[in-house]
């Protein structure tokens, strides 16, 4: 289709974000994705759909065609098209365009085309865009580091919620429709302990209200735990990132210099310049 | 019933989690427990019970028989069966099977069998499973360390909530059914201050709404306190875990030495240098 | 009334908590106070009042008489009775008993006697009880240290809430009774931003719901601020408390020893014993 | 209008807060602004407006006249009136008075005059008032430093909320009016994940309630993230403020030296020893 040089150039534009053109391509693509997702969302609303169904139809096909061209380009410029096609992003890219074509053959219910909303996942590519990489990375590492603690915590919360739900079922079960079964009572316990508090199910007996109050005060103390876990982990990550300046003074061999230091703060000697 | 060797082997499988078989047994048991608890929960729902009452009946007896066999095995392989039977887990294990048998003799109301939900507590045994031990331990220690502060905090919140509730009772009491007594008004204050906000009781007068707004803004600042307590404690625990190495003193066999320690802080003996 | 020695002894019992008798007195008093407050709370409930009005009447007079005796004792054993009578606790102690006596002369409405709930403030005396003193103190110091930051924060939140409320009044005002005036819209903004979310006032237009969603996401990020302030301050306090071991080794003059250290971890020398 | 000296004196009073008179002027102005905003808010309430419309009218003109005099003074005493007039505060100061005058010519609807509520922004000037400057500054710097992490986080939350909303639309869409379109379902997801929990839209199917419970537990863990970010950043700021002393290098006049620094890290010059 194209000679090697053109192919390399296109590859650089659509797969990388180092060049200005590549960056502009990524940002343009992101805007297009966000727009197409907003259209899918509005299409699901009867009010909007009845008013603008023609416009939505046209827009949807424009998005599909652009994404299709992009998909074909991606397939042709990669050296291993199959590997790309079977990768996470390759599949997402295909899901982004397939439903529109399939809606010709299938009598597509409105529910089927919603799969197009997964286009949104393509936006994650934007994280290639420089400055967010480190941040996202630090967040992810803090999450991973606190994963085990969070698991233990969620496990304990689940136990607690089942026990609280069962007790409330025993107390309110007879008089209150909201607590008609243990699963519903557990649902109430989760709504309460997480401080969401819809109010669709609320205790009505005195004992039930008293117990709820205890659960809420408890939840107050419990909500502090995951925050404590993540805060502490986050701080560790930040401390680690800070310590990465491993510069050692040539004259006095001391460490711990700030990133913006030119001279050793202990002996006044000039710090290594190739740092 | 069984010779010593078989008994030891069974003991290893059902009481410990060090061997692969022991681990598999624990995981299998846990899955069974979770399933049996889900069945108990669904049984409480009229809709599910009316549809699948036969299936639930059969499943319940399968769980009961398996747990009974396990209980008998535990009793026979331990050297002191009575000590096990009266231990926390021994009692929980008995509670897990007893209600099903008793339902023969008693005209068991649906409320009675709910005690079987306590089976869930058996899952705590899973914490034997390696990797979660340290995490759970660190969490528990952070909780214990912040216990006193949390107590003082909850005490202050209780005082605050009673005072706020009383004032709101004075303001809204006459016009608003939700504030018909001080206990209800205190219940409202707890629902509000913890940011649960059911909305089953809401202020209706202008003054009441203004005071509520102040309470919420206050709650905003107050919710920060337990989080601060636990975060700071959590960080301490992490810092301590990081700072302390696993070196053991050759002279007094004590652990917990700092990384920069050359001498044992308990007996003054020189620490191993090859560390 | 009593000779000096008896007076000193009574003073020790009711004003201090150092002796076992003084401690027992304080705990007994606290239990009495909590009970009397519970009675005041239940009296406000029509249901309880109609059923147990006789019992409540008797109990109330028992509490009043005991508190009166205690008040007179406090007055007689202090060297400066007037100073005590005009102190914070002196006034609270008087308020605890006065309403019951006044209810003879005044045709006491139910609202008047509620002032007795202020008895609860007397419980703060319990903080004399040893172990909570340091904890409460550390909490209080963290609060005081972060007071200025919290003020700036609450000020910014107030500004934000007034602006959001005004915009929502413009958007929803015409169609939605909940947003019929700016003060009500501001009340809604506070309910939303603090994540209380009663649901008594909710946006109904598309634009209103969209703006609400933005406000909530914003609130999500904002709620992190006071927590951050208090956490950081709390950690400072803890770090400061930890550093208070100011022991210096006599042999190598180094600091930073743990509280449980007997020997210097740097040189192995014995640490000062009189510490 | 006035000779130079008077002008300088007025400038000092209304633009600065260093002198006692300047401070008193600022505080007086702030009180006036807050009062005028309260009047604008109450005017929007039909109940208050119908009762006190005359009083509000008079008050509004008093505020307008005072603010107008102040505006003219500010214009006359600054050396570059145009620069002030086009600055942020210059425009806010104009907006504070313009609507009242325009309401003569325009048939001012109630909605138009609400713009006067922007007067509130003038209060930000109060931050000149000494003690809050540093605090506000530290908060602002912590916010700026965590901006990127918060962006990544909010981006991830947005993705999550759209996906959760779409799934809930598929599950509840048919039976439940609250989930009649994806945008509404996303609105519900935001209300739930942020733990606001109005309860205006709640899941009604078993599957929907189960998924909601999972979302809430998830939200429980997620809410910890921004708090962790800000806490950790706040702590950094505090640590930095503590670590850095106010020493200024004699050679290069730069600040920001660590407490243990002997030499300037920027130019290598020896720092003042008598520090």
Which residues does chain C have with pLDDT short of 50? 1, 274-275
Do residues C15 and C116 both lie within one domain? yes
Model ipTM? 0.82
Asked if D165 contacts D189 with a C-beta cutoff of 8 angstroms, the reply is yes
Percent of chain A with pLDDT over 90: 20
D162, pLDDT greater than 60: yes
The CA distances from residue C82 to B56, C75, C101, in Å, are 74, 8, 21
pLDDT of residue C272: 62
Do residues A13 and A127 both lie within one domain? yes
Contact B199 D199 (CB under 8 A): yes
B191 three-class SS: helix
CATH number at residue A191: 1.10.287.70
The CA distances from residue A119 to A21, A238, B35, in Å, are 23, 33, 37
Q: Measured at the alpha carbon of residue D170, what is the angle toward residues D166 and D172, in degrees to the nearest 5? A: 110
Do residues B157 and B102 both lie within one domain? no
Residues of B in contact with A199 (CB under 8 A): 197-200
Taking the Cβ of residue C269 and every Cβ of chain B, the question of whether any pair is shorter than 8 Å is answered with yes
Lowest mean pLDDT among B50-54, B121-125, B230-234, C70-74: B121-125
B266 within some domain: no
* Higher-confidence position of B128 and A181: A181
Taking the Cβ of residue C152 and every Cβ of chain D, the question of whether any pair is shorter than 8 Å is answered with yes
Q: Which long-range contacts link B253-256 to residues 24+ away (Cβ below 8 Å)? A: none
Do residues B125 and B153 both lie within one domain? no
B251 within some domain: no
How long a stretch of residues is chain A?
Answer: 275
The pLDDT confidence band at residue B111, using thresholds 50, 70 and 90, is low
A156 within some domain: yes
pLDDT of residue C211: 92
Give the phi and the psi of residue C234 in degrees, each rounded to 5: -60, -40
D1, pLDDT greater than 50: no
How many CB atoms neighbour CB D236 within 10 A?
19
pLDDT of residue A189: 94
Q: Which tens digits make up the pLDDT trace of B30-80? A: 889 899 999 989 988 888 888 998 999 899 899 999 999 999 998 988 888
Find the Cα–Cα–Cα–Cα dihedral A37, A41, A44, A48, rounded to 10°: -110
How far apart CA C214 and CA C195 sit, in angstroms, is 13
The pLDDT confidence band at residue D131, using thresholds 50, 70 and 90, is low
DSSP state of A271: P
For residue D187, the surrounding DSSP H or E stretch is: helix D182-193
Per-residue pLDDT, averaged over D166-191, amounts to 90
Tell me how close the Cα of D81 comes to any Cα of chain B, in angstroms: 40
Report the candidate in D232, D248, D229 with the shortest Cα–Cα distance to residue D240: D232
Contact A183 B44 (CB under 8 A): yes
Where is mean pLDDT largest: A209-213, A263-267, B122-126, C221-225?
A209-213
CATH number at residue A116: 1.20.120.350
Does the CA dihedral C250-C254-C258-C262 come out positive or negative? negative
In B33-101, DSSP assigns E strands to none
How far apart CA A9 and CA A14 sit, in angstroms, is 9
Predicted TM-score (pTM) of the model is 0.84
* Mean pLDDT computed over every residue of chain B: 81
pLDDT of residue A272: 62
Report the candidate in C173, B59, C144 with the shortest Cα–Cα distance to residue D44: C173
The chain C residue lying nearest B191, using CA atoms, is C196
Where is mean pLDDT largest: A156-160, A261-265, B200-204?
B200-204
pLDDT of residue B255: 65
* Structural domains counted in chain C: 2
Do residues D109 and D231 both lie within one domain? no
β-partners of residue C134 are none
pLDDT of residue C275: 40
Where is mean pLDDT largest: A27-36, B226-235, D10-19?
A27-36
Do residues B90 and B40 both lie within one domain? yes
How far apart CA D102 and CA D112 sit, in angstroms, is 10
Instruction: Locate all alpha helices (DSSP H) within A173-201, ordered by sequence.
Output: 182-193
Contact C265 B265 (CB under 8 A): yes
Taking the Cβ of residue B247 and every Cβ of chain C, the question of whether any pair is shorter than 8 Å is answered with no
A271 within some domain: no
Contact C267 B262 (CB under 8 A): yes
The chain D residue lying nearest A242, using CA atoms, is D236
Do residues D176 and D119 both lie within one domain? no
The chain C residue lying nearest D122, using CA atoms, is C159
How long a stretch of residues is chain D?
Answer: 275
The last residue of a domain, from among C106, C132, C158: C132
B252 within some domain: no
Print the domain residue range for A230. Answer: 147-241
Q: Which tens digits make up the pLDDT trace of C26-35? A: 888 889 989 9
Tell me how close the Cα of B221 comes to any Cα of chain D, in angstroms: 13
Do residues D107 and D28 both lie within one domain? yes
Taking the Cβ of residue B131 and every Cβ of chain A, the question of whether any pair is shorter than 8 Å is answered with yes
The pLDDT confidence band at residue A146, using thresholds 50, 70 and 90, is confident
* Higher-confidence position of C161 and B130: C161
Do residues D213 and D115 both lie within one domain? no
The chain B residue lying nearest A194, using CA atoms, is B196
The CA distances from residue B213 to B156, C43, C140, C185, C190, in Å, are 20, 28, 24, 11, 6
Contact B195 D195 (CB under 8 A): yes
Find the Cα–Cα–Cα–Cα dihedral D172, D175, D177, D179, rounded to 10°: 10
3-state SS, A198-262, equals: CCCCCCCCHHHHHHHHHHHHHHHHHCHHHHHHHHHHHHHHHHHHHHCCCCCCCCCCCCCCCCCCC
pLDDT of residue B18: 72
Q: Is B245 buried (19+), middle (13-18) or exposed (0-12) by CB count in 10 A?
A: middle
The last residue of a domain, from among D77, D105, D132: D132
B271 within some domain: no
C269 within some domain: no
The last residue of a domain, from among A132, A161, A177: A132
C221 three-class SS: helix
Do residues B127 and B161 both lie within one domain? no
How far apart CA C221 and CA B51 sit, in angstroms, is 46
D210 within some domain: yes
Residues of C in contact with B173 (CB under 8 A): 111
Q: How far does CA B108 lie from the centroid of its chain?
A: 28
The pair of structure tokens assigned to A232 is 């502490």
Taking the Cβ of residue C138 and every Cβ of chain B, the question of whether any pair is shorter than 8 Å is answered with yes
Do residues C30 and C108 both lie within one domain? yes
Taking the Cβ of residue B197 and every Cβ of chain D, the question of whether any pair is shorter than 8 Å is answered with yes
pLDDT of residue D125: 67
How far apart CA B216 and CA D196 sit, in angstroms, is 13
Residues of C in contact with B187 (CB under 8 A): none
* Contacting subunits of B (3+ beta carbon pairs below 8 A): A, C, D
The chain A residue lying nearest D232, using CA atoms, is A235
Give the DSSP per-residue string, D65-131.
Answer: HHHHHHHHHHHHHSS-HHHHHHSHHHHHHHHHHHHHHHHHHTT--TTGGGGGGGGGGGGGGGGGSTT
Do residues A128 and A156 both lie within one domain? no
């Amino acid at each position: 289709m194209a000679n090697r040089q053109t192919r390399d150039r296109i590859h650089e534009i659509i797969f990388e974000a180092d060049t200005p053109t590549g960056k502009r391509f990524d940002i343009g693509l992101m805007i297009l994705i966000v727009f197409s997702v907003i259209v899918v969302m509005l299409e699901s609303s009867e009010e909007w759909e009845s008013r603008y169904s023609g416009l939505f139809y046209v827009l949807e096909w424009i998005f599909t065609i652009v994404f299709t061209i992009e998909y074909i380009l991606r397939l042709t410029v990669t050296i291993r098209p199959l590997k790309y096609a079977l990768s996470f992003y390759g599949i997402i890219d295909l899901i982004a365009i397939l439903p529109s074509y399939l809606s010709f053959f299938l009598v597509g219910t409105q529910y089927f085309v919603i799969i197009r909303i997964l286009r949104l996942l393509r936006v994650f590519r934007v994280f290639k865009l420089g400055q967010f990489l480190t941040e996202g990375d630090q967040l992810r590492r803090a999450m991973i580091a606190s994963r085990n603690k969070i698991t233990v915590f969620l496990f304990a919360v689940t136990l607690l919620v089942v026990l609280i739900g069962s007790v409330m079922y025993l107390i309110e079960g007879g008089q209150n429709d909201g607590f008609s079964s243990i699963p519903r009572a557990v649902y109430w316990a989760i709504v309460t302990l997480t401080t969401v508090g819809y109010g669709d199910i609320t205790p009505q007996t005195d004992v039930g209200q008293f117990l709820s109050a205890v659960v809420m005060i408890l939840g107050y103390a419990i909500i502090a735990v995951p925050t404590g876990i993540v805060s502490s982990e986050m701080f560790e990550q930040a401390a680690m990132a800070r310590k990465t300046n491993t510069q050692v003074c040539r004259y006095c061999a001391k460490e711990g210099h700030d990133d913006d230091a030119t001279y050793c703060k202990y002996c006044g000697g000039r710090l290594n310049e190739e740092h």
